Amino acid sequence: MKTIQWYPGHMAKARREIKEKLKMIDVVIELLDARVPQSSRNPIIDELTGEKPRLVLLNKADLADASQTEKWARYFRGRGAEVLAINSQTGKGVKEIAKAARTLAAPLFEKWKAKGMKPRAIRAVILGIPNVGKSTLINRLVNKRQAKVGDRPGVTKQQQWIKVGSELELLDTPGILWPKFDDRRTGFRLAATGAIKDELLDFGDVAAFVLTFFSEHYPLKLEERYKLTSVDVEDLGSTFDEIGKNRGALLKGGIVDYDKVAELILRELRAGTLGAVTLERVEEIEE
């Protein structure tokens, strides 16, 4: 896979606008995909937000490996952030967000109180890459369809302030990706979870990456789901053949339809049919 380079105009604009608005922000809420916590982090966010108090939300936690989510939570806490594992679809953990934001903003509000300033609602910005679930989370927080929701990257196109009760105001922003991915594994992980538009990468390459990762970390899940005898990473073609035959992904003459097999693997991964999995490890970062 070549280095992916793409930077739509609305993302460049979002970056400028976020920088301008940060003076008004008390707490930065960073929304990550719990299945790919590091790959779904935008390094530009560190540059933009600086020392602002940070709340990291590990979204889609129900689709992630719980033991790995706990490791990632410890990792981010060790770097000064507050962390919550949530599910914006079901609302699990969402009620804890306002409380965590209050805790993070407390030192700032105490400082204002000492100066005789009146308290106001906490102002927070939600940042995250496309398709990580920001709009769904905001709708869950406000209990209505205020932010546009879609299952494809890049639904939110402009910033908007949204009130959550009387104590929290959220600045919604378009998802922003960095201009390129130097690590091909980052591109594969984001493509596997649907953060990158499907047409930007070859389905077969991404599915092969998923099979290789599963063969090392979750071999039983693969074997049980697709009734495989084993997974040979040196000969993934034979694994594609076995899955295709077992699931009926065939062309005329009984020839395996590799595109259909790849699409099947990615669809079932994204839906959680392959089980709760995390596609990267804290140990990789620490190494």
Q: How much of the chain, in percent, has pLDDT values that exceed 70?
A: 86
Contact (CB, 8 A) for 69 and 278: yes
Only one residue has tokens 């606008």, namely 17
The reply to whether 218 and 255 lie within a common domain is yes
The reply to whether 68 and 158 lie within a common domain is yes
pTM exceeding 0.85: yes
pLDDT of 184 strictly over 70: yes
The reply to whether 17 and 105 lie within a common domain is yes
The reply to whether 248 and 115 lie within a common domain is no
Of 55-64, 91-100, 151-160, 222-231, minimum mean pLDDT range: 151-160
Contact (CB, 8 A) for 192 and 266: yes
pLDDT, one tens digit per residue, over 79-96 is: 999 999 999 999 999 999
- Residue 135 lies inside a defined structural domain of this protein: yes
pLDDT, one tens digit per residue, over 195-243 is: 887 777 888 999 999 999 999 999 999 999 999 988 888 889 999 999 9
The reply to whether 171 and 221 lie within a common domain is no
DSSP state of 195: S
- Residue 157 lies inside a defined structural domain of this protein: yes
Those residues whose C-beta lies under 8 Å from the C-beta of residue 144, and which sit 6 or more positions away, are none
- Residue 215 lies inside a defined structural domain of this protein: yes
The reply to whether 110 and 213 lie within a common domain is no
- Domain count along the chain: 2
- Residue 188 lies inside a defined structural domain of this protein: no
Give the type of residue at 113.
Answer: K
pLDDT of 154 strictly over 80: no
The reply to whether 175 and 282 lie within a common domain is no
- Residue 196 lies inside a defined structural domain of this protein: no
Residues of the domain holding 251? 202-286
Those residues whose C-beta lies under 8 Å from the C-beta of residue 205, and which sit 6 or more positions away, are 1, 188
| CATH classification of the domain holding 72 | 3.40.50.300
Residue 149 pLDDT grade (very low, low, confident, very high; cuts 50, 70, 90): very low
Q: Which of 62-66, 125-129, 175-179 has the highest mean pLDDT?
A: 62-66
**Euclidean distance between CA atoms 53 and 105, whole angstroms:** 7
User: H or E stretch including 207?
Assistant: helix 203-217
